[in-house]
A and B are shown apart, each in its own frame.
Chain A
Amino acid sequence: MPGAVFRPFRRSEAERSDRSAGDRLRHREKVRESIRENIADIVAEESIIGKSGDKIIKVPIRGLREYRFVYGDNAPGAGQGDGQTQPGDVVGKGRKEGPGQGDKAGDKPGQDFYETDVTLDELIDIMFEDLELPDLERRALRKIPAERMAKRKGYRQVGIRIRLDKRRTARERVRRILATRRLSGQSPRPPGTSAAEADRQRKPFHTEDLTYRHVVTDVRNESNAVVMCIMDTSGSMDTMKKYLARSYFFLLYQFIATKYRSVELIFIAHHTEAREVTEDEFFHKAESGGTFISSGYQRALDIIEERYHPSLWNIYVFHCSDGDNFDSDNPAALRTARQLAEVANLFGYGEIKPLGSRYYESSMLNLFRRLDADNFQTVVIERKEDIWPSFRAFLSKDRARVADDAAAPA
Chain B
Amino acid sequence: MPDYSIADLERWDERIREQAAAFGLDVYPQEFEICDHNDMLGYMAYSGMPSHYPHWSYGKSFEKLKTMYDYGVSGLPYEMVINSNPALAYLMRDNSLCLQILTIAHVYGHNDFFKNNFNFRQTRAEFTLGTFKAHAHRVRSYVEDPSIGYERVESILDAAHAISFEMRRNRAIRKLSQDEERQRLYEASQPRPDPFRKLHRAPEYQAPDLRRVPAVPEEDLLLFIRDHNPYLAEWERDLLTIVHEEACYFLPQIETKIMNEGWASYWHREILNALELPSELHLEFLVRHNQVVRPHPGGLNPYHIGLKVWDEIRRLHDDPTSEEKRAASLGGGGRDALFETRSVDRDASFLRRYLSEKLMRELDLFQYEQRNEDHVVTKVSDQESWREVKDTLIRSVGTGTIPVIKITDADFGGNRTLYMVHEHDGRDLLLEYAERTLQHLHRLWGREVALESLIDGKKTLLAFGDHGFAAKPAR
Given that A3-B14, A68-B162, A76-B378 are known contacts, is A23 also in contact with B54, CB under 8 Å in the complex?
yes
Given that A7-B31, A64-B60, A68-B165 are known contacts, is A78 also in contact with B376, CB under 8 Å in the complex?
no
In the assembled complex, the CB of B387 is this many whole angstroms from the nearest CB of chain A, namely 13
In the assembled complex, the CB of B88 is this many whole angstroms from the nearest CB of chain A, namely 10
Which one, A7, A70, A76, A88, contacts B32 given CB within 8 A? A7
In the assembled complex, the CB of A80 is this many whole angstroms from the nearest CB of chain B, namely 5
CA A406 to CA B34, docked complex, whole Å: 68
CA A28 to CA B60, docked complex, whole Å: 8
Given that A6-B6, A69-B402, A79-B368 are known contacts, is A27 also in contact with B56, CB under 8 Å in the complex?
yes
| Residue contact A106 to B367, C-beta cutoff 8 Å | no
Given that A9-B34, A14-B36, A79-B365 are known contacts, is A73 also in contact with B13, CB under 8 Å in the complex?
no
Which one, B9, B34, B104, B364, contacts A80 given CB within 8 A? B364
Asked if B341 is an interface residue, CB under 8 A from chain A, the answer is no
| Residue contact A72 to B296, C-beta cutoff 8 Å | no
| Residue contact A26 to B374, C-beta cutoff 8 Å | no
Asked if B124 is an interface residue, CB under 8 A from chain A, the answer is no
Contacts of B366 in A (CB 8 A): 78-81, 85, 87, 91
CA A29 to CA B154, docked complex, whole Å: 13
CA A20 to CA B57, docked complex, whole Å: 10
| Residue contact B378 to A70, C-beta cutoff 8 Å | no
| Residue contact A77 to B375, C-beta cutoff 8 Å | yes
Contacts of B426 in A (CB 8 A): 74-75
Contacts of B58 in A (CB 8 A): 20, 23
CA A202 to CA B34, docked complex, whole Å: 82
Given that A20-B58, A75-B427 are known contacts, is A87 also in contact with B364, CB under 8 Å in the complex?
no
Given that A69-B402, A80-B296 are known contacts, is A88 also in contact with B377, CB under 8 Å in the complex?
yes
Q: In the complex, identify which listed stretch (A93-101, A204-212, A284-292, A333-341) lies at the interface while the others stay far away.
A: A93-101
Contacts of B434 in A (CB 8 A): 69
Give chain B's interface secondary structure class.
mixed
Asked if B401 is an interface residue, CB under 8 A from chain A, the answer is yes
| Residue contact B429 to A69, C-beta cutoff 8 Å | yes
In the assembled complex, the CB of A174 is this many whole angstroms from the nearest CB of chain B, namely 62
Chain B residue with the shortest CB-CB distance to A83: B364
Which one, A24, A30, A82, A114, contacts B364 given CB within 8 A? A82
Given that A78-B366, A78-B392 are known contacts, is A1 also in contact with B17, CB under 8 Å in the complex?
yes
CA A74 to CA B368, docked complex, whole Å: 10
A-B interface contact total, Cβ < 8 Å: 235
| Residue contact B35 to A78, C-beta cutoff 8 Å | no
Which one, B9, B63, B298, B372, contacts A81 given CB within 8 A? B298
Q: In the complex, identify which listed stretch (B37-45, B176-184, B199-207) lies at the interface while the others stay far away.
A: B37-45
Asked if A66 is an interface residue, CB under 8 A from chain B, the answer is yes
| Residue contact A6 to B9, C-beta cutoff 8 Å | yes
Asked if B379 is an interface residue, CB under 8 A from chain A, the answer is yes
Contacts of B154 in A (CB 8 A): 26
Asked if B389 is an interface residue, CB under 8 A from chain A, the answer is yes
In the assembled complex, the CB of B360 is this many whole angstroms from the nearest CB of chain A, namely 10
| Residue contact B42 to A20, C-beta cutoff 8 Å | yes
In the assembled complex, the CB of A94 is this many whole angstroms from the nearest CB of chain B, namely 5
CA A280 to CA B428, docked complex, whole Å: 49
Contacts of B392 in A (CB 8 A): 76-78
CA A26 to CA B63, docked complex, whole Å: 12
Contacts of A65 in B (CB 8 A): 433, 436
Interface residues of A in 1-38 (CB under 8 A from B): 1-9, 14, 17-20, 22-30
Asked if A154 is an interface residue, CB under 8 A from chain B, the answer is no
Which one, B21, B298, B363, B393, contacts A92 given CB within 8 A? B298
| Residue contact B429 to A9, C-beta cutoff 8 Å | no
Which one, B158, B368, B422, contacts A77 given CB within 8 A? B368
Contacts of B244 in A (CB 8 A): none
CA A24 to CA B56, docked complex, whole Å: 6
Contacts of A5 in B (CB 8 A): 29-32, 86
Given that A66-B161, A83-B364 are known contacts, is A22 also in contact with B13, CB under 8 Å in the complex?
no
Contacts of A69 in B (CB 8 A): 163, 166, 402-403, 405, 422, 429, 433-434, 437
Asked if B46 is an interface residue, CB under 8 A from chain A, the answer is yes
| Residue contact A6 to B13, C-beta cutoff 8 Å | yes
Given that A67-B433, A72-B429, A85-B377 are known contacts, is A14 also in contact with B368, CB under 8 Å in the complex?
no
Contacts of B14 in A (CB 8 A): 3
| Residue contact A19 to B34, C-beta cutoff 8 Å | no
Listed by A's residue number, 22 A-B pairs whose Cβ atoms lie within 8 Å are A5-B32, A6-B10, A7-B31, A9-B34, A14-B36, A19-B46, A20-B46, A30-B56, A67-B437, A72-B428, A73-B428, A77-B367, A77-B375, A80-B299, A83-B364, A84-B364, A85-B366, A86-B377, A91-B366, A91-B368, A91-B375, A98-B372
B contact set with A: CB distance below 8 Å: 6, 9-10, 13-14, 17, 21, 29-36, 38-39, 42, 45-46, 54-60, 62-64, 86, 93, 104, 154, 158, 161-163, 165-166, 295-301, 304-305, 363-370, 372-380, 389, 392-393, 396, 401-403, 405, 422, 426-434, 436-437, 439-440
Further contacts, 19 of them, CB under 8 A, given A4-B29, A25-B59, A69-B405: A4-B31, A4-B104, A5-B30, A9-B34, A9-B36, A26-B56, A27-B59, A27-B63, A67-B162, A69-B166, A71-B429, A72-B428, A73-B370, A75-B427, A80-B300, A80-B301, A80-B304, A82-B295, A87-B380
The 8 closest A-B pairs by CB, nearest first: A23-B59, A27-B59, A67-B436, A72-B430, A24-B59, A78-B393, A75-B427, A81-B364
